[in-house]
Amino acid sequence: MAKWSANVKAAFDRAFPERQIYHRSGGTVRYISVSPWQQAIIAAGAAALAGWTFFVTGSYVLGGPSSTIAGNPDDRELAKYERWVQELRAKDALSRSLLEERTDAFQKETAEWEDRQKALEDLFDKLKGDENLEVSALKGDGTGLLVKASIEEADNRQSRNVSHVTASFDTSGTRVSLKNLKYDQERILNEAEDMAIDRAERARGVLQLTSVGSDRIMSGAEMGGPLVSIATMTSGADKLSNADTTFYNRLTQTRARVEEMRYYEQIVASLPLGRPVGVPYRQTSDYGMRIDPFRKRPGWHNGLDMAAYHAAPIIAAGPGKVSFAGASAGYGRMVEIDHGHGFKSRYGHLSGITVSKGATVEIGDLVGKMGTTGRSTGDHLHYEVWFNGKPYDPAKFLKAGRHVH
């Protein structure tokens, strides 16, 4: 027993020999002695702390949180809060998913309305069209037109107000409510159709005043009526595939109205409705039956005779392409202009020609000078208007032109 005690004491002394900790400060050296027992106590405390740490860690890893918190009310409360947080996170994820789905649906609906808006803007671009066309063909000097006016009452008819584009577009997309956007689009579509009908009627009225009439123009073999192509009427259908049938049908109908309007306005804009003499003149012979100045017997006169002075400017009565420029039997020096849509105008007895065949002219362009060449008794212009190979009274075109130019 004494030997065992001596061995233990020897091992203890080797493990915890007396140690001195030296400290130098300001040239003074001090030391602190740590006895074996003090070292043993410190080592025992460190071992106990390390053992407790290993125990807690192992219990948590092997048994989970419940093994360490089963008996702690605070820890149980904390676990309950953690479950609540997890439930809230799940609900938040579900809400986000639903919001994304609804957002996608809203964006698709908004894109559909914006596609409609674009279709309406394109429609109004066609309605606005060429500003010069609108001014020359429909406004003129501010005079309106009654569609049912006859040539006899054309000078005394009452004016009809000219329609103006009042609709506006708001393409702010998601910044506007779809309800207001739908209302605006329906209003714009209604206004566009009304305006197209009104302007088509005005153009048809001009044609009626010429005595040719739109029906006769439409019945021409080479005309075929206003062409509204399937591509034009259904353009954008892929984008509007989810649109309601009512809107799409209204859009198609209005597009057809606009194409019809553009067709008639193009005809009116190309007609020879202007005065063919660029200076004041006097009319010396009418269209129709008259006493022939050479044979002194009744004969048919295909045009109007307009007299001024020698070499007075003769101008194009409408835009077109010069189809003839030269000498022609009976006409002397003559210019013929093809205005398209079956209409032509002829300018005879010229003393000089200032254009050549194939030239493009606009209304008011100089085409020649007044003279007395051909079958003529003096300086004047013999002016004719033809449609599909048949002459018409130029006086009616001039009266119709008062409402245009």
Per residue in 310-330, pLDDT (tens digit) is 999 999 999 999 999 999 988
d(CA 232, CA 119): 11
Q: Residue 131: its pLDDT value, please?
A: 42
The secondary structure of residue 45, as a DSSP letter, is H
More confident residue, 5 or 313: 313
CA distances from 325 to 171, 277, 278, 373 (A): 53, 17, 19, 14
pTM, rounded to two decimals:
0.56
Least confident of 78-87, 200-209, 221-230: 221-230
User: Could you report the per-residue pLDDT of 350-381, keeping only the tens digit for each?
Assistant: 999 999 999 999 999 999 999 999 888 889 99
The DSSP string of 353-398 is E---TT-EE-TT-EEEEEB--SS-SSSBEEEEEEETTEEE-HHHHH
Q: Residue 136: its pLDDT value, please?
A: 34
Answer yes or no: is pLDDT of 178 > 50.
yes
Amino acid at 19: R
- Among 372, 378, 220, 384, CA closest to 317: 384
CA distances from 275 to 17, 116, 135, 381, 402 (A): 134, 45, 18, 11, 10
Q: Residue 67: its pLDDT value, please?
A: 47
Least confident of 72-81, 134-143, 278-287: 134-143
Q: Residue 190: its pLDDT value, please?
A: 83
Q: Residue 129: its pLDDT value, please?
A: 60
Average of pLDDT values for 267-288?
Answer: 92
Answer yes or no: is pLDDT of 293 > 50.
yes
Least confident of 82-96, 135-149, 165-179: 135-149
User: Could you report the per-residue pLDDT of 222-240, keeping only the tens digit for each?
Assistant: 444 454 444 444 455 454 4
What average pLDDT is seen over the chain? 75
Q: Are 200 and 214 in contact (CB under 8 A)?
A: no
Confidence of residue 152 (pLDDT cuts 50, 70, 90): very low
Q: Residue 334: its pLDDT value, please?
A: 96
d(CA 315, CA 367): 5
d(CA 333, CA 29): 137
Q: Residue 321: its pLDDT value, please?
A: 97
